[in-house]
Amino acid sequence: MRIREARDEDADGIAAIYNDAVLRTTAIWNDTVVDADNRRAWIAARQAQRYPVLVAVDDADDVIGYASFGDWRAFDGYRFTVEHSVYVRSDQRGGGIGSTLLVELIQRARDLGKHVLVAGIDASNTGSIRVHERLGFQHVGLLPRVGTKFGRWLDLAFLQLVLDDRQQPEP
C-alpha cells in the first residue's frame, strides 16, 4: 500500500468506497449515492482550497481508502480548524489503512498551519474512535440523537487533536 494525492482517475474508486459507506454503514449520514463526476468535482474543490485529498492504493494502483479535510465551519474565526474524513474499502478495513491515512492528514494539517483537527464520528463506531484515541485525539463532546439512518437515531461523538502549542493565533 502507498499513499498519494488523488487524481481524476481515482474518482471511480473513491465513489465506490463512499457509496458503500452510504448504503451499508453509519459512517456517512447521507442516503444519496454519488457518481464519479461528483467525486471529481469534490476532489477539485478540496484541492482548489489547498486541502489534501489522499488515496491509499494497492500494488495495482486501485483505491483502497481515501482521506481529506476541509473547513470545519465557514466563518473566519474557525480558519485554523479543519474536520477530516477517512474511509477504507470494506474488504480492507482493520489493516491499518485508515490509521496510515489519518497520520498523513495530521501532518498535512500541521504543514498548512492548522491548529485543531476535528473528528465527527457516529458514537457507536468504536473502531474509528479507538483509532483516533490511539493517535492522540481527545473526546470533547457528544450530541445525542442528532442524526438518523436505517430507521434509528444516531449520536455524534466529537473528538479533536490540537496540532501545535500556539497560545495565540497569528493575525
How many domains in the chain?
Answer: 1
pLDDT digits (tens, 9 = 90+) for 136-153: 999 999 999 999 999 999
Report the pLDDT value the prediction gives residue 46, as an integer from 0 to 100. Answer: 97
Q: Which element (helix H / strand E) includes 56?
A: strand 53-57
Report the pLDDT value the prediction gives residue 116, as an integer from 0 to 100. Answer: 98
Q: Is residue 169 part of a domain?
A: no
Q: Which element (helix H / strand E) includes 107?
A: helix 97-111
Distances 155 to 87, 113, 116, 142, 152 between C-alpha atoms, Å:
19, 31, 22, 7, 10
Q: Which three cell numbers stand for residue 49?
A: 482550497
Q: Which three cell numbers stand for residue 163?
A: 496540532
* Cα gap 46→9, rounded to integer Å: 16
Report the pLDDT value the prediction gives residue 95, as an integer from 0 to 100. Answer: 94
Q: Is residue 68 part of a domain?
A: yes
* Cα gap 42→45, rounded to integer Å: 5
Q: Is residue 168 part of a domain?
A: no
Note whether 161 and 106 are within 8 A (CB). Answer: yes
Q: Is residue 167 part of a domain?
A: no
Domain, as residue range, for 101: 2-162
pLDDT digits (tens, 9 = 90+) for 48-92: 999 999 999 999 999 999 999 999 999 999 999 999 999 999 999
Q: Is residue 61 part of a domain?
A: yes
Instruction: Spell out the residues 6+ positions from residue 87 whose beta carbon is closer than 8 angstroms to its own.
Output: 17, 18, 21, 27, 28, 65, 66, 67, 98
Q: Is residue 171 part of a domain?
A: no
Q: Is residue 6 part of a domain?
A: yes
- Residue 33 predicted with pLDDT over 90: yes
CATH number of the domain encompassing residue 138? 3.40.630.30
